[in-house]
Amino acid sequence: MTRLIDQLKAGEFISAPGVFDPLSARVAEQSGASALYMTGYGVSASLLGKPDAGLVSYREMVDRVRSICEVTEAPLIADGDTGFGGLANVRQAVQGYEAAGASAIQIEDQEYPKRCGHTKNRKVISAEDMIKKLEIACESRASEDFLIVARTDARTEHGLDEALRRSEAYIKAGADILFLESPESIEEMRIITERFPDTPKLANMVGGGKTPVLPDAELRALGYQIVIHPVYLLGAAVSGMRAAMQTLQSDGTETPSAATLEDLNMLVDFPAVWALDERA
């Protein structure tokens, strides 16, 4: 398995689709993704059918990390929300995610309970409190190969200058990857990448969000090294299910474009179970 830290050191551009359960992770990896992003939005939607508003617990999130890593080999960047509380919670989250198999944890400077990025009513804690969280996160990992992604949501409420100030402080606190959420123009994105040339930077592409949605090639040219597409597969899954249901409800037939049982058997690796049956 190629490690995320090795991909970054080699200067690779990483385009990580948002996965939300082991099945979506299998689909993404088998389709060629070199890294995966476990989206909190997707976990909340698939697990609870509810919004990404701090409703999923640490235990539920770390269990989802483990279940994804058990069936995939691609490095996983995992959404850790705010660290799920105070400093003791951050320590537990970092240690738990690392032990579960993730390659990186994303921690943001929102107040708890958090709100999904690109949505309303996000509030941030003080930069000083976030710095303490990042310092604890760095101290708590078993290996420096496990990376800390520092996300700031300050742009929306406090403007770009404050978000840049926080970003610089978070990097000094030990963050390995910078995630400045919700820049509102290509020019702002360019300012971010030029301001921090020596730190890997992560771009978040969300259709209908505050940030311009650009092709991966343009993001790479701007200076980003990682791009996540957190809700793209979730949206595709919902669209596919709706289309299939329309056909089923209208004439009682299954659409021929749906994956067959044979396709699904191969996706979830039923042949491995059959091989064991034959050995017995």
49-76: pLDDT as tens digits: 999 888 999 999 999 999 999 999 999 9
Mean pLDDT across the chain, nearest whole number?
A: 94
What is the number of structural domains in the chain?
A: 2
Q: Which residues contact 150 (CB under 8 A, 6 or more apart)?
A: 107, 109, 130, 134, 167, 170, 171, 173, 175, 177, 178, 179
Same domain assignment for residues 8 and 67:
yes
Same domain assignment for residues 24 and 145:
yes
Same domain assignment for residues 251 and 187:
no
CA-based end-to-end distance of the chain: 31
In a domain, 235, yes or no: no
CA distance 170 to 271: 47
Mean pLDDT of 217-238: 97
CA distance 213 to 206: 7
Least confident of 105-119, 180-194, 230-244: 105-119
What are 177's two structure tokens?
A: 């990857």
Same domain assignment for residues 34 and 78:
yes
Mean pLDDT of 139-163: 97
Name the residue range of residue 261's domain: 240-279
226 touches 197 (CB < 8 A):
no
Same domain assignment for residues 184 and 96:
yes
- CA-based torsion, 213, 225, 164, 162: positive or negative: positive
Choose one of 209, 230, 251: the last residue of a domain.
230
Same domain assignment for residues 204 and 253:
no
**pLDDT band for position 97 (cuts 50, 70, 90):** very high
Reported as half-sphere exposure (CB side, CA atoms, 13 A), residue 161 has a value of 0
What backbone torsions phi and psi does residue 55 show, to the nearest 5 degrees? -90, -20
Choose one of 190, 208, 230: the last residue of a domain.
230
In a domain, 244, yes or no: yes
For residues 158, 163, 168, 170, the Cα torsion angle rounded to the nearest 10 degrees is 90
105-138: pLDDT as tens digits: 999 999 877 776 666 668 999 999 999 999 999 9
What are 220's two structure tokens?
A: 């790479």
Same domain assignment for residues 222 and 247:
no
**Between helices 58-69 and 40-48, what is the axis angle to 10°?**
100
